[in-house]
Structure 1
C-alpha cells in the first residue's frame, strides 16, 4: 500500500513549485505532489515532494521542520546525499533513504553531470507545516 501511495504521488505532479536559490542552471525543482491529513494521527499529514535535478543539479544544505520524518526514493538517475555527519552515499533509481526529525541534509545533488535525476520525498509532518525545506546555516 505504501508503494502505491509513493507511485500515486509521483504521478500526481501538481503546481506549487519552489526552486532553491543559486545558480539558475543548477537549481533543483521542488514540487508538492501529495498532501493528505492522516485520519489515525490527528494533526499529522503525509506530504509527497518531487525533487528534480538537471544534469549537475544540486540543492542547498537544508533541514526540515522538527516534526518531519522523511522517506525518500530515487525515481530516476542517481542522487549523492549526506545526512548529518554520515558518509556521502550515492543512491540509484529504486533505492531509498530516511531522514529523522532534526537531521541536517548537507549534501543533496545529482550524481551525474549529463543525465537528470528525480526523487520522491514522503514527509510525515505536522499538518500546519507549509515550509518543508528550510535553509541550513
Structure 2
C-alpha cells in the first residue's frame, strides 16, 4: 500500500509540472491535468493525461518531454499544427491523432486557426520517477 501511495504522489507531481511549465493563459495554451496513475501491471510506469486548450492563434513553446515519455495526442476539436522531430509540420483536425517517441523534440505545437479554438488530449506513458514532464527549449 505504501508503495502505491508513493507512486501516486509522484504521478501527481508530474501533472503539476505539466501545469506549471506550459500554462500561460492568454499567451499560450492552457493545460488541464485530467488523469494520473501508476500502471499496476507495468512496474515503474505511469499514465498521465492532460487536456490542452489552444485559443485562436495560440501556441506552445518548442519543448521536449521526459526522456522516457511516449506521448499519444488526440485532437478533440479544431485543428492543431504539430511538428515532431525531423518530420514536416502537419495540421491534425478533430478526430485525428499523432504520437511522439521518447526523447523527441516537439518544435511546433499550435492552433492552426487564428479564429477558432482547438483542444487536444495528450496521454503520456513514462517512468514514474522521470521529471520534469515537459521542458521548454532554452
Sort the TM-score into its range (normalised by shorter chain).
0.7 to 0.9
Q: State the shift of 1:20 in Å.
A: 3.3
RMSD of aligned C-alpha atoms? 1.9
Higher percent of residues as helix: 2
**Structure 2 CA distance, aligned partners of 1:43 and 1:19?**
23
Structure 2 equivalent of residue 18 of structure 1: 20
**Structure 1 CA distance, aligned partners of 2:21 and 2:117?**
16
Structure 2 equivalent of residue 125 of structure 1: 126
Give the aligned length: 122
8 Å CA contact retained: 2:37, 2:48: yes
Deviations 1:12-69 (A, max 9, x none): xxx95436377x6331111211001111111101111111100001000000001100
8 Å CA contact retained: 1:50, 1:118: yes
**Structure 1 CA distance, aligned partners of 2:121 and 2:71?**
10
The higher radius of gyration belongs to 2
SS at match of 2:20: strand
Q: Normalising by structure 1, what TM-score?
A: 0.82
Gap runs ≥5 in structure 2: 1-14
SS at match of 1:18: helix
Gap runs ≥5 in structure 1: 1-14
Q: State the shift of 1:130 in Å.
A: 4.9
